[in-house]
Structures are given as structure tokens and as C-alpha cells.
Amino acid sequence: MADVASARSGRPHHAPDRARPLDALNFLLADVRDGLGPYLAIYLVAVRGPSHGWNEATAGLVMTIAGIAGLLATAPAGILVDRIHAKRALLITAALIVTLASLSLPFVSGFALVTVGQSLAAAAGAVFAPGIAAITLGIVGPKAFAKRVGRNEAFNHAGNAVSAALAGLLAWKFGPVVVFWLMAGLAALSIGAILRVDPAAIDHAAARGCDSDADARPATMRETLRGSPKLAIFAATAFLFHLANAAMLPSVGQLLAKRVGGGEATSLIAACIVGAQLVMVPVAIVVGRNADRWGHKPILLAGFAVLAARGVLYTLSDAPFWLLTIQLLDGIGAGIFGALFPVVVAAIMRGTGRFNAAQGIAATLQGLGGALSTTLAGAIIVWGGYTPAFLVLAGIAGAGLLLYAVAMPETARQER
């Protein structure tokens, strides 16, 4: 009972070893949570190619449809996480679906089958973010949440870096298809990490963002939206951030594939990911430790500014070294947004008991931006080339920066 009481008072209610399994969980789920992304684009464009009916536009359409499937599942996933105590079982089920989808891709052909498989994986993956955030909040409590989310993100980015390095090395020798086997293996290993989380360590009331099970019932989507204008503003800025960001790395991958070929492009894009993820590790730690002291708003504005600059800088050269260097900026922009997304939502929804429902709603709009991003960029590339596409994405990031600066209030409880 002392553990539960301390959680509801906002103090970390378990010893650090109770939260330690989250390290392995975030590390192993890193690549699984984000999906195949640029690897899928390279595989479809450079390996299957025009002879099988694939180009930048059709590859972008598959990614968009899968993204829409994922975003349609996101809000229900958040509400489901609020309603159930079997959070570990939910994550295990999702990991199994992603594993099967990844293993099947080299054996299926045709637009319909590829799209169905990736859509199922995306829908299953929608539970990872709210599930991990809820388990984290339920273990450490609200006062330690920002710091612990920073640690989660650091392990997430470290996992992405390691898996991308492995993908690059293996793809160099065996070709791009090896990435699908690697993701399936990581998804399978993540199940063991989920099982290491002690279910008794999770306070399910705290995991919903309320003080006790009687304080608030799990909300519907309509109730959550109606009750928080700040959530609507934040969700709109999340949409713009990912509309600008999601297509940048796949577009870079396609550009590299046209210059150097599929196998080498896979290795180069893996190097891009490794570099950005290594930058994200310290960014996540610094943001998590200082977010409430510095304020959420100035940090997120910096993230938007870096994203806009990245889009412009991509247009200056298509040399692989230059593209690799500019991709490091993703470690700052996306690193900031990833570390602060659940923290800002938790701050907005503090005491309502609707944290995961709100996460799901905001993530739905975020996912919609990401899904539309690849189709938008693919269409612009086919029509006018890579430079106009990157400039449009940079302009969208600038619009997000302006909206956040003008309309979004500070959400941090700043400590002086």
C-alpha cells in the first residue's frame, strides 16, 4: 500500500530496479516501433523496381496506406491501454504480429499483399507508444516521469543505432532483404523484455494519469477532445511536425538508391540512422532531465527550427557525405519531439485519468502527418524532383513552429 500511496502523491514509488526492465524493452523495441520506413522504400524501389511496378510514388503510397492503418488504430489503442490492466499481454501480441509481418515480406509480391502486411504491422505497432508510456508512468509516478521518459528515449535511440548498424553491415553482404529478418528477430527478443516487467510494480491508476481508480473513469475519444483545447493545439503541431519530418529520411534513401544502387544505399541509410540515433541519446537525456526546469515550449520550438533547417540544407548537395552529415540534425529535432511528446500530453491531462486516451488522439494526428508525408513527397519528387520536395517539407516545419509559438501555452511546472 505504501508503494501505491507514494505513486499517487507523485513520488517515484518503486526502487530503481523495478524500472530497469524498461531499459531493455525500449532498446529492443526501438526498430520495431518505427516500422521498416526507409528500408521498405529502398527495397521496393531499388530491388523490386519498375519491372515489378514499383517507383517512388507507389512505394510512398504503400507507406501512406500502412500509416493510415496505424493511425486509425492509434486512438483506440490509447483508450484500450487506459481501460485494461493486461498491458504486458497487449505489447506481446503486437510484437508477435510485427514479427510475422516482417518475416512474410520477402515472400509476398504485388501491391495488395505488401500493403496488407505492412498495414497489419502498423496497426499492431500503434499500441507500443501508449503501452510503454503507461507502464512507465505507472511504475515511476508523475514527478519522475519526464526524467524516466528521457531515459526511455535514450535506450530507444541506442537500440535504433545498434539495429541500424547491424542492418548496414548485413545488407552490405546479403542485400536489403536481410533487414526484414533482423526486425523480426528484434521483435521476438522484445517479448522476453516485456516479460521481465513486474506486473505488480505498475499502478494502473497512476498509469492513466489520475490519483486513484475512483478519480476518473477511462474516457471516450469525444470526451477527451472536448475537455482539452490545449490537447487539440498540441495535436495539430504534432501533425505538422511529422508531415514535415516523416518523408525526409525515405526521400534521402531513394535519392541515394538512384545514385549508388540498392545494397549500398541500404548501408548508407543505415549510417544515416546510426548517426542520428547516436545524437538523440544525449539529446533525450538532457531534455528529460531539464524539461520542467527550462520549460517545454522553448525546447520544442528549437526542435521545429532544426527540422526546417534540415529540409533546406538537403537541397544544397546530393553527395552521400553531405546527406549523411545533415541527417545528424534529425537527432536534435526528432530527438526533442520524441522525448517531450508523452511529457507534454501527461502535463496537459494531469489528474484527468485520460492520459493514454489523449496520447492516442495526439498520436493519431501525428501519424496522419507521417502517413501523408511520404505520399506528398513522393508525388512532388516524381513531378519536380527532390529539391522542391525538401523545400516544401521545410516550409511545413516552419508553419508548425509558428503555430506552436503563437497558440501553445507553456505546459511545464517549472522548478526554480
Give me the pLDDT at residue 240, please.
Answer: 96
> What integer pLDDT is reported at residue 165 of this predicted model?
76
CA angle 217, 223, 225 (to 5 degrees): 130
**Which H, E and C letters describe the chain, residue by residue?**
CHHHHHHHCCCCCCCHHHHCHHHHHHHHHHHHHHCCCHHHHHHHHHHHCHHHCCCHHHHHHHHHHHHHHHHHHHHHHHHHHHHCCCHHHHHHHHHHHHHHHHHHHHHCCCHHHHHHHHHHHHHHHCCHHHHHHHHHHHHHCCCCHHHHHHHHHHHHHHHHHHHHHHHHHHHHHHCCCHHHHHHHHHHHHHHHHHHCCCHHHCCHHHHCCCCCCCCCCCCCHHHHHHCCHHHHHHHHHHHHHHHHHCCHHHHHHHHHHHHHCHHHHHHHHHHHHHHHHHHHHHHHHHHHHHHHHHCHHHHHHHHHHHHHHHHHHHCCCCCHHHHHHHHCCHHHHHHHHHHHHHHHHHHHCCCCCCHHHHHHHHHHHHHHHHHHHHHHHHHHHHHHCHHHHHHHHHHHHHHHHHHHHHHCCCCCCCCC
At residue 241, the pLDDT reads 96
What is the rounded radius of gyration, in angstroms, for the C-alpha atoms of the chain?
20
Nearest to 186 by CA among 143, 156, 230, 154: 156
CATH superfamily of 13-204+221-407: MFS general substrate transporter like domains (1.20.1250.20)
* pLDDT number for residue 52: 55
pLDDT in tens, 196-234: 888 888 888 888 877 555 445 555 555 555 557 888 899
What pLDDT score was predicted for residue 370? 83
Determine the pLDDT at residue 163: 79
pTM exceeds cut of 0.85: no
251-278 as b/e, with b when 16 or more CB fall inside 10 Å? bbbbbbbeeeebbbbbbbbbbbbbbbbb
On whether the CB atoms of residues 337 and 303 are closer than 8 A, the answer is yes
In the chain, which residues have pLDDT < 70?
A: 1-17, 33-39, 41, 45-54, 176, 211-227, 259-267, 414-416
pLDDT value of position 104 = 77
Residue 17's CB is within 10 A of a number of other CB atoms, namely 9
